[in-house]
């Protein structure tokens, strides 16, 4: 049986290093298949190893990238909505909601602060 370090390493490789969290179609089910566990077991592993759900982990990485993109002078002409799409959000509402939940502000206010 694999130990939790191996699972954590695999999850980080597939989800983070491969930037699969930017893909709006990438799912917990797909990650579970890549790691070789059931979605239920993946959920337990994520809670134990990361202290978060799949959705919370994905949103955290997406918002981290969005914050960097919003402050990048080279991306000033890119709309906030397009940045949300770049990091993997399906629509403006889900991007703004996740951004506000994680930062306490909107992407527009963050960019202009």
pLDDT score at 55: 95
The domain 62-112: what is its CATH number? Answer: 1.10.10
Q: Which ranges in 12-113 belong to alpha helices (H)?
A: 28-35, 39-50, 54-71, 80-86, 92-103, 107-112
| pLDDT value for 6 | 87
Q: Would you write out the chain's pLDDT as a tens digit for each of its 113 residues?
A: 455 568 999 999 999 888 999 999 999 999 999 999 999 999 999 999 999 999 999 999 999 999 999 999 999 999 999 999 999 999 999 999 999 999 999 999 999 99
Name the packing angle between helices 4-11 and 39-50 (round to 10°): 100
Rg (CA), the chain: 15
State the pLDDT at residue 1. 40
What pTM, to 2 d.p., does this model score?
0.89
Other CB atoms within a 10 A radius of the CB of residue 71 amount to 12
């Amino acid at each position: 049986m694999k130990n939790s370090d191996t699972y954590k390493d695999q999850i980080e490789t597939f989800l983070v290093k491969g930037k699969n969290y930017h893909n709006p179609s990438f799912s917990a089910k797909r990650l579970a298949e890549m790691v070789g566990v059931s979605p239920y077991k993946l959920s337990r592993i994520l809670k134990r190893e990361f202290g978060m759900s799949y959705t919370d982990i994905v949103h955290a990485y997406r918002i981290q990238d969005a914050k960097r993109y919003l402050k990048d002078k080279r991306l000033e002409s890119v709309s906030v909505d397009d940045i949300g799409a770049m990091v993997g959000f399906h629509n403006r509402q889900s991007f703004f909601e996740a951004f506000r939940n994680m930062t306490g502000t909107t992407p527009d206010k963050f960019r202009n602060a």
